[in-house]
Structure 1
């Protein structure tokens, strides 16, 4: 009898997920509710999570490294956040007007995030991006926006270019050419390219994932933060940091607080509540955010940036946001998550080195660990913090194999197993289990000739 392949073992170990996925394909287009959940040969169905662990419908327990798409620095179902949600559910979740908790929530964000002179709450990170572009265009009177290669910014039409090659083509059907014709996509870390793009003074905003593309897979060189700030100020362009993942994870005040560069606008998302659904925010300098103000009739009708949203600053999200951010504000959770990430990074790197597999396990100065498998152009000069070429070698079959084999060893990652979001509540046992699972993962991929 021949040895089972990893795909066969996966199908045998997760029969409940396999059966549910077959049903889902007849109910939900593509069988998943989010493109990033698609997995080979099928995604896992989960029904419970607590702390750093998550359980599937077959009762299998995993160490979770996806953590609400990166927003759960304190893990799943933190007692303080759960208690806040339960108490607010008894009082109501949508009042159709302001609530006291909105003031507390906005106040904490204002104290933590350097650019947050004023806060406009939204229903999601994507909506925050949409409003960020809109308010930048309204404030500057300009049309064009600048994005960087491989940077992700959600589902808003204008930012669906730049994420994948060819960079000037939207990642989605149905996006009109006119929606993206004013979006300029540039290589990261290249001062001359940015200077040339801004010289015409037609660019409203430069948008950047604050730790680099795809949560730091391709990092930002430290000096380039100041370059972006100096050039945007020189040419009258706004600078927007997308801190939907990095806000409250990189540091309590995000990347901007850590690197000492304050943008004009910042987008926040899942992290402002610890991933209670229905929350986001666009925050920024007072003079820019005043585009949302009501003034005279002419201003209101022709210049003001309007914003609606049934669940904006709803009491449930505000309650959990206050509870979550009070814990984040101490600084301890981000420190612990970063420390855990370094331990995981170093342990996984040892597994690569022991097998003499070309590659690197690195971070971008915060608690997301990335796996790069392939020969490095830097030939030993890399500091294993900022990788500038990792997205060149991310074959889908390798990512699928990483995910699948991690799952077989009790580790849950995103559907491409290259990236692990580490939390403050991952234990030493969790980290060691993951390091050992990575080693076995590599062995299987060598055996199945995924790695050559």
Structure 2
């Protein structure tokens, strides 16, 4: 491990220098928890297509893809042109704009149950607003959520997302109104049957942490049936899956119509932006002005950057392409190719406890020699905390560094968001980099084969 870290520090020397400066500016030296890395994170200077270049001008195949926001890859010409045109018109005129209308039309065309749209500045804001809407409409305080599912960092979303989270700063009354369940239908049914104060069930429709702990479409379908039977709202958090697993998201693929859906990432074409969409009777609680309903039941919602013209321009350009189905199809095709190529490397090296798995354009790499997992398997019977860190933390840490040294940057070293511009050549180069990275770990005595 020591030699590997020395190689990393030498190859990414300027990132190390910048990381040292960052520690005096940012808590923990980073601007996002997920970017924290030992001995330091990479600083990225530019990106194009499926590639990016760091502060030392090392070229890497990028599988972060803007934390999953860039289905079309970096710098897609249609998005660049749309943003360039809008930025010359103005970045924020402080009023409504026609681009937002087209943006909303595309969302309503694609997302099931999207009768009304309210834009936000992020996915976290979207889930915050959706949960408040659910409580206001039902008059009930409690929310059912599932272990490991991520819905942002706000008070009503944080409990239950991370098994290691101490819940610092969260009050007892907030924690008391969040029911965190394992993703088991019998527990959902029993909880709904014995509690009459549940406002909503919120979930990531493909499973915890964008499918690291996968859920079948049948689970979402059954939860929809149960919530409808008990008059409880279903909120699908499609911040990651929206427009990716199908043009209309995971609920559309499963044939499910949620009461509310939360969107972000691909929604805004890689720029900041989110939205809550859903049934008119729920969403109209946000109506103001001449359309104001019962003032006592109305929810106030502001946001300086709601439907910002730059985000709207990028979002329209992106969703017009997404609506054709072609970008999602290409990305999913390449994602499946990537998972199989990685598994072939793992099989060739006879590595027990390693696997690559996922859902189309989202691929996860799991590495834990103590687990009963073979290449190509979906890990089952593995503790949630272990799954969320990608297996054995020592191995995944070393593998991340080794992959980066060999020119591949997986998100947090264990997940890949594949774009429509990743090619078979990128996949083969990634497989070769994985093989070289595993050879480095073997030489360091960290894995056996």
TM-score normalised by the chain length of structure 2: 0.94
- 1:33-80 superposed Cα distances (whole Å, 9 cap, x missing partner): 001000111000011011100001111100000000011111011011
2:21 aligned to which of 15, 20, 23:
23
Does the alignment pair 1:237 with 2:232? Answer: yes
- 1:343-371 superposed Cα distances (whole Å, 9 cap, x missing partner): 11001001111121123534443211111
Does the alignment pair 1:358 with 2:349? Answer: no
1:377–1:406 Cα change, 3 Å: closer
SS of residue matched to 1:184: strand
1:54–1:179 Cα change, 3 Å: same
Does the alignment pair 1:448 with 2:444? Answer: yes
Does the alignment pair 1:257 with 2:256? Answer: no
Counterpart position of 1:247? 242
1:306–1:338 Cα change, 3 Å: same
SS of residue matched to 2:67: helix
SS of residue matched to 1:432: helix
What is the aligned-residue RMSD (CA, Å)? 2.2
Counterpart position of 2:300? 306
SS of residue matched to 1:115: coil
SS of residue matched to 1:157: coil
**1:42-441 maps to which residues of 2 (within 5 A)?**
42-165=40-163, 169-170=166-167, 173-188=168-183, 190-199=184-193, 200-277=195-272, 279-294=273-288, 301-374=295-368, 384=377, 389=382, 391=384, 392-393=386-387, 394-415=391-412, 417-441=413-437
1:193–1:295 Cα change, 3 Å: farther
2:30 aligned to which of 24, 29, 32:
32
Q: Distance in 2 between matches of 1:187 and 1:4?
A: 39
- 1:378-407 superposed Cα distances (whole Å, 9 cap, x missing partner): 877x98468574743523322221211110
SS of residue matched to 1:361: strand
TM-score normalised by the chain length of structure 1: 0.93
Q: Is the 8 A contact 2:270 2:314 kept in 1?
A: no
Query: 1:332: how far off?
Result: 0.5
Q: Distance in 1 between matches of 2:353 and 2:371?
A: 11
1:150–1:112 Cα change, 3 Å: same
- 1:294-329 superposed Cα distances (whole Å, 9 cap, x missing partner): 379995542111100011111111111101111111
Q: Distance in 1 between matches of 2:437 and 2:248?
A: 36
- Range that drifts further, 218-227 or 234-243: 218-227
Q: Is the 8 A contact 2:113 2:260 kept in 1?
A: yes
Structure 2: unaligned runs, 5 residues or longer = none
Q: Distance in 2 between matches of 1:92 and 1:384?
A: 50
Q: Is the 8 A contact 2:260 2:279 kept in 1?
A: yes
